[in-house]
Amino acid sequence: MANLELKKNIFGRLSDGTEIELYTVNNGKMSFSSTNYGCTLTSIMLPTAKGAFVDVLLGFSTLDGWVGDGYCFGTGVGRFANRIGGASFTLDGKKYQLDDNDSGRTLHGGFTRWEKKVWNHKEVETKYGRGVEYSRVSPDGEQGFPGNLSAKQIFTLSEDNILTLEYFATTDAPTPISITNHAYFNLKGYDGGTIRDQEAMFNADTVLEIKEDHLPTGKILNVEGTPFDFRTPRLISSQIEKLPFGFDDCFCVNGFDEKDFKLRDFGYVKDPASGRKMSVRTTQPGVQFYTANFLDGVKGKNGHPYGKQEALCLETQGYPDAPNKSEFPNSILRPGETYHQVTQYVFEF
């Protein structure tokens, strides 16, 4: 890993004086940066044809932006990504009431978000590359979830342009878990405008059926003949125009098997104009494809206002509302078990 350079700088200080770090890992061709405030990916720099670099990740120029952010730009999400219906679930005969932060639902963990926590951090080298390990204990009752949960998120870069996100957790009581990262990508650059003219291909024959409240019904639908059919490369615009508002849907990863832990190729997005391409591999059962339908002019990096559908998210995760859907892949972590998931973003330019 001789070509992988890691630098650490002070990113800023919170109002209580806590110092926040920013790590940057560079392989000589591309780089990514992340911070221990919320396990947040702050930038991904890819080369241009003119020898410069473009940042393909939405976010902010300073720590203050993330402190005040409500859109989860690049943040680590837990204990349970996406939505839980009724802001509650029943486990082993006991009902648990969660934070209701989304009109009767729990979204991305509720009010006490992991993205607003300061995480322990250290430099690491793994089989996937060089980077940073972030860790903290989510105490029993945080967000309403049971059990003291020891969580780790490891971000590494390889010499061949693969950004790997690894998630680990153990618990002292049974608890639901689904960790993801909420990165907003635009392969044209964070100020490049709409992603509707970008190309996508997903290895997903099925998608979760959802109700108007975005909660899954429990049914899994075939994508053939629907706007969700990206099994062959398509411009996002050709499909998004068939929907009233945009994509915010969980696609089922082809070939997923709970008993077979392996990275599976989910698909890719590509910017035809620049040729930049990002492929996704994951051990998770689902990928939430979200086209930034709710961005409404929030000022981001260098003051650029982010508008509707100026980014896309590919959030690898367990199925939403899985704690209330026994037919979905298991989402419960129990004492003595280790939660471990891996996601890779593979960049070509």
Q: Give the catalytic positions in this structure.
A: 182, 315
DSSP state at residue 119: P
The tokens 């100026």 sit on which residue? 310
**Integer Cα distance of 101 and 106 in angstroms:** 6
Question: In whole angstroms, how far apart are CA 217 and each of 85, 220, 319?
Answer: 10, 8, 11
Which sign, positive or negative, has the C-alpha torsion 193, 199, 202, 206? positive
The tokens 């391409």 sit on which residue? 277
Burial of 336 (0-12, 13-18, 19+ CB in 10 A): exposed
Centre a 10 Å sphere on the Cβ of residue 45 and count the other Cβ atoms it contains: 17
Tell me the three-class secondary structure of 61-98, residue by residue: CCHHHHHCCCCCCCCEECCECCEEECCEEEECCEEEEC
Helix (H) or strand (E) holding 157: strand 149-157
Q: Which of 296, 205, 210 is nearest to 256 (CA)?
A: 205
Which residues are registered as beta bridge partners of 306?
A: 298
Concatenating the DSSP letter of every residue in 296-321 gives: -SEE-GGGPEE-TTS-BEEEEESPTT
The answer to whether residues 109 and 11 touch, using CB atoms and an 8 Å cutoff, is no
Alpha-carbon 119 to chain mean position:
17
The tokens 């639908």 sit on which residue? 221
Helix (H) or strand (E) holding 202: strand 199-202
Strand 332-333 versus strand 206-210 pairing type: unpaired
**Integer Cα distance of 91 and 326 in angstroms:** 11
